[in-house]
Structure 1
């Protein structure tokens, strides 16, 4: 078991989360997309927001895909947002 697996197991146990509900690779993928496409500090914030979305009932795979797409289109999204302001 590597450090990431050990940490994940420990956190799941501490927070009472069923590790079977966790898609670690999807979360790491989204945070990588955000870190490289938006900004490094946005990655942990995005992971937190992804967790909030899942807690509110959003399907984790759907939310992860939407966030990765948003990060990939960050430049275009900010241009459109600035036009609307």
Structure 2
């Protein structure tokens, strides 16, 4: 039986192949870490929403030729992570 990590890597490869993006490298652990930040700092359903929007932003930036794929993904995930972390601070009740 495959481990969770192996299953996620296989699933990632299958998705990339289905979208003809085999040359794109995805750091599954980094995506999951971003989802975790969003889930804990905002609300749990923010995890898939955050990763989707970060991916969309990265794809648009890369597609427009603004930056290479890897840099686009890192930048978008960095913005999303910072925003989610700041959201938790802003929403915390004042003592």
> Which TM-score band (shorter chain)?
0.7 to 0.9
Q: Alignment partner for residue 17 of structure 1, among 21, 35, 55?
A: 21
TM-score, structure 1 as length reference: 0.77
The aligned length equals: 79
Contact 2:9 2:28 in 1 (8 A): no
Could you tell me which residue of structure 2 aligns to residue 82 of structure 1? none
Gaps (5+ residues) in structure 2?
63-71
Instruction: Give me the CA root mean square deviation.
Output: 2.0
- Higher share in helix: 1
Question: How far does the alpha carbon of each residue in 1:3-62 deviate from its partner, in whole angstroms, 9 at most, with x for none?
Answer: 111111111111111254322222111111001111111110111101110121162111
Output aligned runs, 1:1-85, within 5 Å: 2-18=6-22, 20-57=24-61, 59-78=72-91
Normalization by structure 2: what TM-score?
0.70
Comparing 15-24 and 36-45, the one that deviates more: 15-24
**Cα distance change of structure 1 residues 28 and 19 upon mapping to structure 2, 3 Å threshold:** farther
- Which runs of 5 or more structure 1 residues have no equivalent in the other structure? 80-85
